[in-house]
Amino acid sequence: MELTVDMAINWMEIARDKYKENKETLTMLDQAIGDGDHGINMARGYQAVVEKIAETEYDHPADVLKSVAMTLMAKVGGASGPLYGTAFMNMSMVMKGKTVDQKVLKEAIDHAITGMKQRGKSEIGEKTLLDVWDQVSSYLDSEDLSEPKEIIEVCQAVVEDTKQIQATKGRASYLNERSIGHEDPGSMSSFYLFEALAEVLEK
Ligand code: ADP
Ligand code: MG
Ligand code: MG
């Protein structure tokens, strides 16, 4: 595989569509263990992302992702805006000047994780979106991406698993053990993001 400029743009368009379609799901998940704004945050943020990248010319996918990062940081508030902004900025830094093959994509995702850990002062296993990113990284390390849609199953399982975890970061942590039994909204939004990526890679 090679992630091209057109694929990076298409990734964001599909993600925007998913966030629009599933806004209510994200809202409901965040109402249960947060403040209920995650659906609106993501839908609004990715609408702005698609508008921004439609009006710009790009030579390299790293530049697309840099625009995504800056737009998410500017337009999405709360915890998730800075976190996703950092993720895309770090992915862009790794991809810069390179052919984005599976190895580079994996390195980019790893650098995104490093950045989000720093920003969120969080670790894997704390019932956050990091849990999904971590499993995508492992998947890219162990599989050859001949069936990109497997990524969707991997992410789905992680979202399901976040139900069992007690949140120790973000608003959900205020609920202590009452956060158990609910899926993490940020993990669900990362699921949609990687579902969109899998669909682009499948094409
Ligand atoms: P807010 O909680 O500020 O309203 P959002 O609702 O947009 O922000 O996003 C909430 C999601 O962000 C959570 O479901 C979780 O996945 C993620 N999150 C929150 N705090 C952290 C953190 N410190 N580290 C990593 N992820 C976090
Ligand atoms: Mg929220
Ligand atoms: Mg909020």
Helix axes 185-202 and 80-95, enclosed angle (nearest 10): 30
Query: Is residue 115 very low, low, confident or very high in pLDDT (cuts 50, 70, 90)?
Result: very high
Q: What would the two tokens of residue 196 be?
A: 């969109």
Task: Write out the residue range of the structural domain in which residue 66 sits.
Answer: 5-202
> DSSP label at 125?
T
Residue 155, pLDDT > 90, answer: yes
Instruction: Give me the mean pLDDT over the 130-155 stretch.
Output: 95
> Which CATH number does the domain housing residue 43 bear?
1.25.40.340
CA of 80 from ligand 3 middle (Å) equals 8
ipTM above 0.90, yes or no: yes
Residue nearest atom 22 in ligand 1 by C-alpha distance:
120
Give the residue, by CA position, lying nearest to ligand 1 atom 13.
186
**Mean pLDDT, to the nearest integer, of 168-178?**
97
Domain count, the chain: 1
Does 77 score more than 90 pLDDT? no
CB-based contacts of 186-189 (< 8 A; 24+ apart in sequence): 186/38, 186/79, 186/80, 186/83, 186/128, 186/129, 187/127, 187/128, 187/129, 187/131, 187/132, 187/158, 187/159, 187/162, 188/25, 188/26, 188/29, 188/159, 189/19, 189/26, 189/38, 189/42, 189/80, 189/129
CA distances from 130 to 112, 118, 155 (A): 9, 11, 11
**Average pLDDT value for residue range 115-137:** 98
121, pLDDT greater than 90: yes
- Per-residue model confidence (pLDDT) at position 33: 98
Q: Are 188 and 152 in contact (CB under 8 A)?
A: no
pLDDT band at 190 (very low <50, low <70, confident <90, very high): very high
Q: What is the predicted pLDDT for the residue at 35? A: 97
Tens of pLDDT, residues 44-74: 999 999 999 999 999 999 999 999 999 999 9
Q: pLDDT tens, 33-47?
A: 999 999 999 999 999
Q: Which ligand is nearest to the CA of 191?
A: 1
